[in-house]
Chains A and B, each alone.
Chain A
């Protein structure tokens, strides 16, 4: 798309968004369509694809965090993985990519291995929960794809992660 076209699209989109915003303000009492839908689904039904977007459901949580140079899944994250295992088991067409990451400390290729080890931990738990191995792929990015770029503990914690990415639902 050329720059001119892109600019026109952005302007058009902005106009539409502005119009939407005005509409909502005009009718403050009207319940939004999405919240009505959420009311009807059971957040604990982990076979229901709608729960992947439902903030009240564990299925909407898709990032598992790890301690430094460790790959064991901490207890607090197990229920999330179990929920996804239940979803994948109930939906044979579902495919997940476990995008695995390390923080910046230490050498890059070693961190590629460390990331993969974290992905494998999550993969094992998904399998234990009934997902078939053909539905899961581990892709380690090592330290190459940080979400946070500062060199401090807080950033490092956020970067040591496995992201559960659905390539097919």
Chain B
């Protein structure tokens, strides 16, 4: 694939090599340069009998300075964070192989290690970037499961490490990892005056490298990723009214997509990236509309006096799920993308809203209240109609599935502060994303970034 194709630039555009690296390295030249407190992810609950793995420090053969946090640190932390693996501490490692031929299987086996990950980092042939070689071996079968080399742009070793963790996760679990992804969220900071500061932040999925994309003293809501991970749609009150904005993360450019009378809210990208489903109240009450991003054509999907909002697309793009209180209280409904065949989906509990779609449309995560004033994250299985409560807070909201369907990121309130948390789709693994400053809310997990 040519550089132009990779970056999706118009044909004939020339990109200098430094610019290329810059584009590859940062997602977002338009970021505001503000220092940010980073989220730190802690495991609250892991899995009984997590798989013991050893991630051996990678051999450093590059002329560049060795980073303080190496490939093995990032890969080991990624895998351990899932709660499915247990990284054995470095001090317990009996040897430091860099390739499968150097592995003493018997010794690792005695230690009870199931898999060993190892490799090396060297300069690439151009001398500008690096190449990371990595290997995954199964100690019990003495088989090499993965043996690959991955190119890494300068300064991008951390993200390359996430990609390696993704490949290892896929080799072991059968589904792609979601480590080389990003999350968007909103932070509200107390400025010490009567005005708060709203910031839309984008960070790596492990909380590293947080960058503010937008800041405003008026509310920012509902960030939504485009399917290619290049753009974010969100709701801004910068003009004193709600508007829907689409922001390009590479160029920093943004445009107002909807600013009609009343509410302009709840943007959601169609899987082909061509349309936004939104909630507009221009006709008097919030209804679901589709906006074609190319020709700005608007089609009204629902037409009801009730509140119809929080649309989200099925993975095949044929259906949308949305929240409506047309039956009295909010529940999840589905409708075909042509506006036909509307159907209520949830019946259990007083309150079900803000659906997020899992990997294959079978599972919907949502905000659920049985009617006792507590709001929790629940997962609904469309195959058997079962609803299962996954979180244990009182004010849990904004569920967002990881692109591989493994975890659900959501917002909760702990001791009066908005924080992020994650729970595995089976409810066994719990993480807390700790942030030192501000009220954190509305997480949105990016698609897989390829």
Binding site for B on A (CB under 8 A): 69, 104-110, 112-114, 116-117, 120, 138-142, 144-145, 149-151
Contact = CB atoms under 8 A, between A and B. Distances in A.
B230 interface: no
A109 B266 contact: yes
A113 B353 CA distance: 13
A49 B195 CA distance: 29
Nearest to A149: B416
Contacts of A109: 221-222, 265-266, 279, 309-310, 323, 354
B241 A139 contact: yes
Interface stretch (B47-55, B138-146, B154-162, B367-375): B367-375
Given A112-B286, A142-B221, A144-B221, 8 more contacts: A107-B367, A107-B397, A109-B266, A109-B354, A112-B263, A113-B281, A120-B285, A141-B219
B136 interface: no
A156 to B, nearest CB: 10
B35 to A, nearest CB: 20
A104 B417 CA distance: 12
Contacts of B397: 106-108
Contacts of A120: 284-285
Given A69-B329, A109-B266, A150-B416, A114 B310 contact: no
A44 to B, nearest CB: 33
A107 B262 contact: no
Nearest to A108: B221
B394 A151 contact: yes
Nearest to B286: A113
Interface string B81-121: 00000000000000000000000000000000000000000
B219 A116 contact: no
Contacts of A144: 219, 221, 237
B86 to A, nearest CB: 36
Choose among B241, B262, B394, B442 the residue with the greatest number of A CB atoms under 10 Å from its CB.
Answer: B262
A76 B260 CA distance: 33
Interface of B: 219, 221-222, 237, 240-242, 262-263, 265-266, 279, 281, 284-286, 307-310, 323, 325, 329-330, 351, 353-354, 367, 369, 373, 375, 394-395, 397-398, 413, 416, 441-442
B394 A116 contact: no
A114 B279 CA distance: 13
Contacts of A151: 394-395, 413, 416
A93 B222 CA distance: 36
| Chain A binding surface, main DSSP class | mixed
A139 B416 CA distance: 27
13 contacts: A69-B329, A104-B395, A106-B353, A106-B375, A107-B310, A108-B222, A109-B354, A110-B309, A110-B310, A113-B309, A114-B307, A139-B241, A144-B219
Contacts of B281: 113, 116
Given A110-B323, A141-B237, A151-B395, A105 B221 contact: no
Contacts of A140: 242, 262-263
Nearest to B399: A107
Contacts of A110: 307, 309-310, 323, 325, 330, 353-354
Contact of B369 (A106, A117, A138, A142): A106
Nearest to A156: B373
Contact of B307 (A108, A113, A138, A139): A113
B421 to A, nearest CB: 16
Contacts of B221: 108-109, 112, 142, 144
A7 B109 CA distance: 70
Given A144-B237, A150-B416, A151-B413, A112 B375 contact: no
Nearest to B196: A145
The 9 closest A-B pairs by CB, nearest first: A113-B307, A144-B219, A107-B354, A107-B353, A109-B266, A113-B286, A109-B309, A109-B310, A107-B367
Contact of A117 (B222, B237, B285): B285
A18 to B, nearest CB: 23
Contacts of B369: 106
A119 to B, nearest CB: 9
Contacts of B222: 108-109
Nearest to B354: A107
B320 to A, nearest CB: 14
Contacts of B367: 106-107
B330 A106 contact: yes
Contacts of B279: 109, 112-113
B242 A107 contact: no
Given A145-B219, A151-B416, A105 B262 contact: no
